[in-house]
Structure 1
Amino acid sequence: MRNFYFNHDGNVDDLVSLLLLLQMPDVNLLGVGVTDADGYVDPASSASRKIIDRFGHADRKPADVAKSNSRAKHQFPDAWRLSVFSFDDFPLLNENGGQIQTPLAEKPGHLDMIDKLQNSAKKVTLVMTGPLTDLARALKVDPTITEKIDKLYWMGGVLGSQGNVAAPGADDTMEWNAYWDAEAVKTVWDSNIEIVMVGLDSTNQVPLTSELRLRWAAQRSYPALDLIGQGYSLVHSFEANSIYYLWDVLTTLSSRYPELIESKRVKTDVITTGFSEGRTFQTDKGREITFVTSVDAAAFYDKIDELAKLAPSK
């Protein structure tokens, strides 16, 4: 069994990622942290606990969910963050009258991360699908946690594509998780953690399409696929030329199924101030990371279905 720790920021893609992590046969999920970023932290924490209750396997589900007290330098737009309230209210997650068995952790996210890493007998794969703030704060409290991290898989940043931040004072060369707290990205980049960056360059290859929605609808006899379909019914991109992508799910599946992706080693850095704050860029003077360049989209979508069908039916 491989030990994992999952830190997410509470939108539909994050919650689907948690659902799929719970189904991976050889993954021992030590804990889950939730940041108040792309989704509001309270309903996101509640939904995470309910997903673990409903779809976790008794011999492998994490003991608790940690709520982060990290705060944004630049918060996500409110309109993007609201879907988690509806997700938390789905009947499928509330069939037991709203009673939740999976507890909240006593410590906030960054301290819970330290505890889970330090208490692991072997190195841990760290998957983060939101800002890197909890990890940056954890490093400042206890720099020795780097010895317990096998790799960090992060959904964030962009190198060759346009960013997705359209905000006053920003030049749209950055990705939102990096823009949320660029200094945290720099702190992690300055560490010796082995980083796998799953940026917009690759996630833009796995869009949420009408055909994909219908594919899940046709398989709704499987409860996990029913939940996935319901979840993504909450997200629609109404802005001109705007598309929703499976950003976080790609990162999560990449951490366990590297055959789905192609990558290369590059040297990168991050800008922490000014109009390009949060921009990740390639430079010979940067630190070396593994950068995911492409994905086998057909195999990726198939893997989602395969894992979802492993979930408990009741």
Structure 2
Amino acid sequence: MPKLILMDHDGAIDDLLSQLLVLTMPDTELIGVTVTPADCYIEPALESTYKLLQLMGKEQVALGRGDYYGINAFPNEWRARPEIINALPMLINLPKSPDPYLYPSAPDLIIDKLSSATQKVTILMTGPCSNLVMALEKAPELKAKIDEIVWMAGAFRTNGNVQTFQHDGSAEWNVFWDPISSQKLVSYELPLTLIPLDVTNHVPVTKKFLSTLATQIDYKLSNLTGQLWALTLDTIPSYHYTYFMWDLLATSYLAMSEQFTTEIVKANVSTRPPNAGQTYLDSNGYELKIATDVNVGYFYEYILKQYKQ
């Protein structure tokens, strides 16, 4: 029986690459995708999400629209990227996407998919956790239907990647966008595995990797993913900002968890400035699992292999 995957992402390039990766995984069934308007504008992000499902012959997968806008907005320049993605040669002429205003709300879709699942569901989150928390607040009994939550989130023994006013730089963006929901999720003590910056910092998008990927250009997914990653080389806010495979690494955990080093810790989330969104180790906190290391070479080879189709 395939592993059931419910994915919540926030429409950025790394999220869309992660959605593609899930669709290449054997023995998994993607039962729904919800989109959070965090690192994206929701309408073009829903279009990108649908187009990638079309590309993989999976347009029957249900989509949910996130309507909650968090507490700390992502920079507008980052959020605009799906507009470019939808104009790429492999996507622009695909059949028209549905009206983005007709999708069910993301929390309602999560409730529907968990309620109707005949086995426990793995939830993959590559954006903020707000949609899931809103769903579980509305239907707390559905916590019992969750097998595991894998979330690209947090920074524990390394600096965060939030650089903004009234912040000390300790937080990671997916948590910072909605620190209150993040703290709630941690407090539930569900089977939660965080893939934090501590480990994603090991997997930058390098020109060497892109060069190797380009040797596979005759394969549809290698061609498309190469174009998507090329769009990250001028990433705002500055020329020295490095793009990492944040969400790809978290997504790969579904298929190669044995290649990760993990640790059970007690932790908590700050909800106030100057460290709002900081995930920190706390002996009086809540139990969860964090990834601390990964077999980097195996990971890069895995990504190249999965996109060779």
Match of 1:257 in 2: 256
Shift of 1:234: 1.0
Percent identity of equivalent pairs: 31
Q: Does 1:8 align with 2:6?
A: no
Give the superposition deviation at 1:202.
0.3
Alignment of 1:211-226 (within 5 A): 211-226=208-223
Q: Unaligned regions of 5+ residues in structure 1, if any?
A: none
Matches within 5 A, 1:115-194: 115-194=112-191
> Cα distance, 1:255 vs. partner?
2.1
Between the two proteins, the alignment pairs up a number of residues equal to: 306
Partner of 1:291, secondary structure, is: strand
Distance 1:309 1:62, change over 3 A: farther
User: 1:56-105 CA deviation, whole Å, 9 max, x = no partner?
Assistant: 45xxx652211111112000011112221111111212334x42379987
RMSD: 1.7
- The equivalent residue for 1:81 is 79
Amino acid paired to 1:63: V
Q: Secondary structure at the match of 1:19?
A: helix
TM-score normalised over the length of structure 1: 0.93
TM-score, reference length from structure 2 = 0.95
For residues 105-140 of structure 1, the C-alpha deviation after alignment (integer angstroms, 9 at most, x for no partner) is: 742111111111111000000000000110111111
The equivalences for 1:64-103 within 5 A come to: 64-96=62-94, 98-100=95-97
Answer whether contact 1:29 1:62 (CA < 8 A) is retained.
Answer: no
Post-superposition shift, 1:241?
4.2
The aligned runs of 1:199-238 (5 Å cut-off) are: 199-236=196-233, 237=235
Give structure 2 stretches of 5+ with no counterpart: none
Contact 2:189/2:286, CA 8 A, preserved across alignment: no
- Specify the SS of the correspondent of 2:90: helix
Assess, with a 3 A threshold, how the Cα gap between structure 1 residues 22 and 56 changes in structure 2: closer, same or farther: farther
- 8 Å Cα contact 1:162/1:173 also seen in 2: yes
* Equivalent-residue separation in structure 1 for 2:295 and 2:259 (angstroms): 5
Give, in whole Å, the separation in 2 of the partners of 1:5 and 1:56.
18
Partners of 2:43 and 2:100 within 8 A in 1? no
Shift of residue 36, structure 1, vs aligned partner: 0.5
